[in-house]
Amino acid sequence: MSFQTTKHFTQKLITSEHIMGAFYRFHRMQQNISLSDFAKQLRMNKGFLSELENGKRHFPDGLYIQLNHLLHLQFNTDIELWHQSRKTLFTLFNFFFLEQNDSIQQLCENFDNQESILSNSHGFFVCLIIKIFYYLRIQKDNSKIIEIKNIIDTHIDCLQNDELSIYYCFLGIFYKRSVSTNSIALDYFKKSNQLCSPNSSVNAMNTFQLVSVYSELNKYVIAYKKCIECKPLLRQYNNYSRLITIDMFECITLTNMHMFDESKKKLLNILSSTNNGTFNYCQDQIYHNLAWNALLSQSYEECIHYTNLAKDAGDPSPDLCYFIPFSLYKLNKPLNALNECSKAIKECDHFYIPFIEAISAKIQNKNNDFETKINIYYKSLLKNSNYEDIPLIQNFIFDYYEEVHDKEMMINILKDIKLNNEDKLNFKTSLL
């Protein structure tokens, strides 16, 4: 039996014996059969069997038939099945990268029909990566993902570097779904990029994903740089849908870096191209980002205007609930602000209620209630790593303590603001 090794970006080579040995070792251990007992059943030297399982020996002709019988397997030595598994993986990834959801669904159905054959071949470990994607995007089963991850990580040397780069990319996307594990996601995307070609769709996908990861980690400058880096990578694949997303992220990062004019100009240009039918951007997102830009730049009338437009366009974002109440408070329209607070409390997500209540308490000079509610909300932002909203709240709190002439708390807030600006958020903030 011969196996054509493949030369990849970082020159990694894997033999058929290595994969085959690992396959049988995995299934032996799954059935709780010790190496010694299995060697006895095979009437084979224990050391020789160990070397077979570790890919250090050539499999004698016909041995796999005996192994299949003892382990109740149907391993097929046809190398073409390995090539077929790889083709399925790469095709699936490209469909995912290009957001071709119908093609993804069809390919997953085809794979499901072929899985028993492909998984009982040299394509076994490649198929596990495909199943990671299946449980990530189709079935959404986290426990299965972790289970398969543990198997792959134990047999990581059975995968080619181009296969591994996709595997690490999938893991990055998996861990990226929770703010608390963004740092883990970051590591996986970096590992993936170390194993793939700079011009590959995998590198383009990793760079795309890193934009939001760095944004959520409060690293807006790096996020912006990744936006710029990502665009030519996406253009070379004519991936316009992800380019649209990157354009929006670029505007968000500009806003969060307080480059308000630049962000607004770009957003209005995007809005114009959308209205002209040039590109298919989501208007509600554009209006939302214009509202957020106006809120942070203290253009409160504009914030109200764009918030209403975002709502009219069907924007489902829960954070919109505080844009108008806060803007009306800053515009010194207390009655209007209180009215909007009352409406918002009835309709908004539970997470934002303490902030709305804090605005209401501030207007009514209920200082104790304000301090209690705003502290609850600030703690929630820190706990959930919701960095984007933190500067707004810090300034809100600072203004309050300035009004009540509490210099000690003003100093504490200024320290927190400094830490935030230095990208070293203090999770044991002096406010808590």
Distance of CA 298 to the CA centre of its chain: 31
Residue 311 pLDDT: 96
CA distance 231 to 19: 38
Residue 357 pLDDT: 97
Residue pair 65/108 in contact (Cβ under 8 Å)? The answer is no
CA distance 111 to 394: 52
Whether 163 has a pLDDT exceeding 90, the answer reads: yes
Is 402 part of any domain?
yes
* pLDDT interval class at 432 (50, 70, 90): very low
Is 253 part of any domain?
no
**Amino acid letter, residue 86:** R
The pTM of this model reads 0.88
pLDDT exceeding 70 applies to what percent of the chain?
92
Question: Mean per-residue pLDDT for 333-354?
Answer: 95
Residue 394 pLDDT: 87
Q: Both tokens of residue 338?
A: 């209180």
- 37/185 same-domain check: yes
Question: Mean per-residue pLDDT for 391-409?
Answer: 85
Is 319 part of any domain?
no
Is 27 part of any domain?
yes
* pLDDT interval class at 351 (50, 70, 90): very high
Instruction: Quote the number of domains for the chain.
Output: 2
Contacts of 136 (CB under 8 A, 6+ apart): 145, 170, 173, 174
Question: Mean per-residue pLDDT for 392-411?
Answer: 84
Whether 277 has a pLDDT exceeding 70, the answer reads: no
Is 267 part of any domain?
no
Across 95-99, 182-186, 421-425, least confident range:
421-425
pLDDT exceeding 90 applies to what percent of the chain?
80
Is 423 part of any domain?
yes
CA distance 73 to 64: 10
> Final residue of a domain: which of 195, 225, 259?
195
CA distance 381 to 379: 5
* pLDDT interval class at 383 (50, 70, 90): confident
Is 322 part of any domain?
no
Query: Of the ranges 87-101, 263-277, 383-397, which is most confident?
Result: 87-101
**Average pLDDT of the chain to the nearest whole number:** 90
**pLDDT tens-digit readout, 193-245:** 999 999 999 999 999 999 999 998 889 999 999 999 999 999 999 999 999 99
CA distance 85 to 146: 21
Whether 4 has a pLDDT exceeding 90, the answer reads: no
**pLDDT tens-digit readout, 11-56:** 457 889 999 999 999 999 999 999 999 999 999 999 999 999 999 9
> Final residue of a domain: which of 151, 169, 195?
195
**pLDDT tens-digit readout, 285-311:** 999 999 999 999 999 999 999 999 999
* pLDDT interval class at 426 (50, 70, 90): very low
**pLDDT tens-digit readout, 64-87:** 999 999 999 999 999 999 999 999
Is 110 part of any domain?
yes
Q: In Å, what is the CA distance from 71 to each residue of 5, 24, 241?
A: 27, 8, 48
Residue 339 pLDDT: 97
> Final residue of a domain: which of 195, 217, 239?
195
Residue 3 pLDDT: 37
Whether 96 has a pLDDT exceeding 90, the answer reads: yes
The residue segments making up the domain with residue 431 are: 334-432
Nearest to 43 by CA among 18, 60, 22, 27: 60
